A and B are shown apart, each in its own frame.
Chain A
Amino acid sequence: MPSLLTDIPRPVRRTLQACAGLATLVLLFEGMRAVGLLPTTSVPSTGEILGALRTSVVDGDMVSAIGYTVLAWLLGLLVATAIGIPSGIAVGLSRWADRATRSAVEILRPVPAVALVPVAIVLFGIEVPMQVFLIAIACVWPLLLGARGGVRAVDPLQVDTARSFGLGQLAIIRRVVLPATVPAMVTALRLSASLGVVVAVGAQLISGSPGLGSLLVSSQNAGKNDVVWACLLVTGALGVVINLLLASAERGIAGWQALSTEGRR
């Protein structure tokens, strides 16, 4: 088998292997249905799921659910970035600001964002802004801590080098500290992005706010199991797309750092 595989060019081989892996997943799913590990009464077949996916896309339900989810996710991430990154840089640069806020951050960070769903409903109702609020709360911490850690990890030698070229405080921050922090921030963004999807779907489930989560619940209540599974398929695909985009961004931006440092966190 390996000798046969090594003759195929690497990218083609990789794609074939990936497809084989995915096919195995589908077979496993169908196998579990056939054996009875997944009850056929409530778990539809792959064909039925794909059929439901097509109809729900055609009648627009799925498209608007995806649209709302992506919109809330993007806005939430945007707000979290706008707040988290500057604050993270500030506490990274200023020991004093860090000391002043550290306890508050340590108390607030472990609060599971979805626990605030009721609060968010009271404050914002059950439309998209509520989701944005919750996503922003969940995602702000990784971004803040990522930016802070990135600033902290800047090699003092690089700062001294910049100083030896006569750069002032602000110029050092802009031309040395910030560029050196970018990879850490992109990593934090990737983490926040997947966290954002989790919180978005969780909030939609609980509150009925529009999106894939609520489509999932309403389909289930209507007994449309095939649509429920189609929703799962779509959330997975959405997650894959988001991960791939951010991973390639991370590789692009952080490439030089991966090469230049031995250990990354």
Chain B
Amino acid sequence: MKAPTFRSVTHRSVGWIFVLVLMGLWEIAGRRDASGLFPPLSEVLTETLEVLRSDALTNDILPSVARALAGFVLGSAAGIALGVVLGWWRALEPWTTAPLEFLRAVPVPALVPLAVALYGSTDPMKVGIIALGAFWPVLLNTVDGIRRVDPGYIESARVYTSGSSFSILRRVVLPAATPQITTGLRIGLAISLILMVVSEMFGASSGLGYLVLQSQRLYAMTSMYAGVVILALVGLLLTALFSAVEKRAMSWFDGMKGRTS
């Protein structure tokens, strides 16, 4: 029993050592850089801490997180709901495929200028844009996941439920499609985060994204990098949150996969 624990500790630490090496390289490169465009990591981190301690945390950062989270949740919920409808009632497919293929192909950032013009750079606009970003990948993966549910499961369900379509959907089809819906959610989260940044950097006069862009325009490199680090931390935080939820919901799937592959 002693050996595996020792080994798992070294396994984990090898990864962190690599991270530290990368951080060290940034530090050294920053110190050697004479142009002033690439500040060393230590300065960036000091600045980051300062920003985190200032009122920017409550004024800019937390609202960003809240918008990203709200948009992601709303967009995903809508994507799952519509995805279930389109995936389950297959007669709709030939009619809806073409318009949906076109709509989803419009990159959501392209809608930001119009949204700003129509609704102003407001919170609901930003949440809506973020939601739309999450919506498409969740929708597509939900439709696909539901269509690919093993007919064997549905057959068993028809034997052991009273046979209503809704109860089969809820008790069997949705759980069976969860792995792929989760894949969609993971992609949706990444796109939500991109849109969080785009919606803040474009046409905004406040917020985290604006701060970073403004620092770049003023050539305040350290605070620019600090802003990037904070945006990265927000992404990391939300991704970690998602992974934690995912891990609990999907333990059966990971276990099964680990066993069969």
Contacts and interface: CB of A to CB of B under 8 A. Distances in A.
Does a CB–CB distance below 8 Å link A and B in the complex?
yes
Nearest to A240: B105
A171 interface: no
A104 B109 contact: no
A236 B106 contact: yes
A31 interface: no
A218 to B, nearest CB: 10
B15 A205 contact: no
Contact of B108 (A138, A198, A265): A198
A63 interface: no
A54 interface: no
A24 interface: yes
Interface in A122-170: 122-123, 138, 152-153, 155
Contacts of B110: 201, 205, 212-213, 216, 231-232, 235
A100 B15 contact: yes
Contacts of A194: 105, 107
B114 A220 contact: yes
A115 B106 contact: no
A265 B179 contact: yes
Interface string B48-74: 000000000000000000000000000
Contacts of B109: 114, 198, 201-202, 205, 213
B235 A111 contact: yes
Interface string A170-211: 000000000000000000000100110111111001100000
Given A102-B15, A110-B190, A122 B232 contact: no
B168 interface: no
A88 to B, nearest CB: 16
A20 B198 CA distance: 34
Interface residues of B, number: 66
Interface stretch (B76-84, B93-101, B159-167): B93-101
A196 B67 CA distance: 23
Contacts of A231: 110
Contacts of A155: 261
**Most central of B113, B118, B133, B231 by chain A CB within 10 Å:** B113
A96 B198 CA distance: 37
Contacts of A138: 194
Contact of B228 (A116, A152, A237, A263): A116
Interface residues of A, number: 69
A32 interface: no
B101 A240 contact: yes
Given A198-B191, A205-B198, A25 B150 contact: no
A64 interface: no
A101 B247 CA distance: 21
Nearest to A228: B114
Nearest to A262: B150
B29 interface: no
A104 B99 contact: no
A40 interface: no
Interface string A49-73: 0000000000000000000000000
Given A21-B95, A236-B102, A238-B105, A112 B190 contact: yes
Interface string A69-98: 000000000000000000000000000100
A19 interface: yes
Contacts of A111: 228, 231-232, 235-236
A118 B228 contact: yes
Contacts of B150: 262-263
Contact of A103 (B18, B101, B216): B18
A39 B117 CA distance: 11
A114 B191 contact: no
Contacts of A206: 198, 201-202, 213
A25 B99 contact: yes
Interface string B203-219: 00000010011011000
5 contacts: A13-B94, A25-B102, A115-B212, A239-B104, A239-B105
Given A114-B194, A118-B213, A118-B215, 8 more contacts: A21-B97, A24-B99, A101-B15, A104-B19, A110-B193, A118-B216, A198-B191, A235-B106
Interface of B: 11-12, 14-19, 22, 37, 94-99, 101-114, 117-118, 133, 148, 150, 179-180, 183, 187, 190-191, 193-198, 201-202, 209, 212-213, 215-216, 221, 224-225, 227-228, 231-232, 235-236, 238-239, 261
